[in-house]
Amino acid sequence: MTIVVPRHGEAGPNSARWAEALGESLAGSVARLESSPTMIDSTFRTALLHVEARCTVDPEAAELETWEAVVSAMQVGSALFAVTGATEGTVECRINRETRALPAVGPRSFADAGNWLTAFWLAIVCRDQKRMTQLCQIPLERLRSPEGEYDEYIYHWVDALQTYWLQRPGLVEKLTAAIEGSYPEAVSATPRDLLQGVLYPPINLFHRFVRKDEEGFSQALVEALELHKAYWTADEDRAKDPDGRIALGPLALACLAHDGEIPLAVESAYLPKHLLQRSWLGEFPT
C-alpha cells in the first residue's frame, strides 16, 4: 500500500510570476559571476529559492522549467566549491547552459559543511556522478567552520557520505559517529526541533539504505516527510517559508533508493515525482 504525505502550502495567484522573476534574477546573477565571483554564495541562495518557487507551482516537477531550475542550482552549488578550492587562475564551470571561466577566490567561510550537503543532495537528484565525485574529493578540513557554528556530528556525516561514494574504508564507524553525534544530548549549536525535523532524518534514511533495509527505508521515508511537514508547519512564519516546499535531503536519499531498485511505498509533493523518477535526465547537457 502506498502512503501519501500531502504537502503543506498551495501556490498562490502570484506564485508563478514570483518564480519567473526569480529565474530572471538568477540568470543576471550567474552572468555577473565572471566579474564578481565572490557573489557565488548569494547566487546559490537565489538558485535554491528559485527551485523552491518552481516546486511550489509545479509540485511534480512536470515542467522543463523546474528541471532547469534544479540543474542550475546544482551547477551553482558545485561551482561554489570549485572556485573556493582554487587560489589562482580561473575555473571552468557550466552554469545555465554555458561554460564560464570563473576566477578563483580561495577559501571562504560559506564553503562549509551545510552548503556542501545541499550541493551534494542536488548532485544526487540530478544524477550527476561527476559532480558527486568532485564534491566528495574535497578534504573535510576545508569544510570546517569556527567552533560553535556547527555541531561535530555534521563533519562525521559528510565524512560518511564521502566515504560511501568514494568506496573508502571505515563507513560503518563514520556513520555510527554521525548517528551518535546527532543525539539530542550530544549537540549544542543545533536547535533541537531543526535537528529532529530536518537534519537527522536523512542520516537515518542513509543508515537504512546502506543496510539494504527495504522495509525500514520506506518506513523511515514516511517518517522523514511527516517530521519535515511538522517542522515547517509548527508556526505561521515557517508555513509561509518556501524552504519547506521540498524535502531535499530525503529526496536525494529517495533518489539513491529508486536507482537502487528499492521499492518506495510513499508519494508526496515533498518528493517531486519527476525528480525522483529522473524523468528529465538527458534532456540537455548539464
Cell 542513509 locates to 206
Between vectors from CA 149 to CA 143 and to CA 152, what angle results, nearest 5°? 65
The count of other CB atoms within 10 Å of the CB of residue 177 is 18
C-alpha grid cell for residue 221? 521515508
**In this structure, are residues 286 and 128 in contact, taking their beta carbons and an 8 Å threshold?**
yes
At residue 147, the pLDDT reads: 86
Residue 100 φ then ψ, to 5°? -120, 145
What's this model's pTM, rounded to 2 decimal places?
0.98
Maximal CA-CA distance, the chain: 55
Positions of the chain with pLDDT lower than 70, given as ranges? none
At residue 249, the pLDDT reads: 99
The residues, any chain, with a CB within 8 Å of residue 268's CB and separated by 6 or more, are 4, 5, 6, 7, 225, 247
Rounded (10°) CA dihedral 15, 20, 21, 23: 130
At residue 1, the pLDDT reads: 84
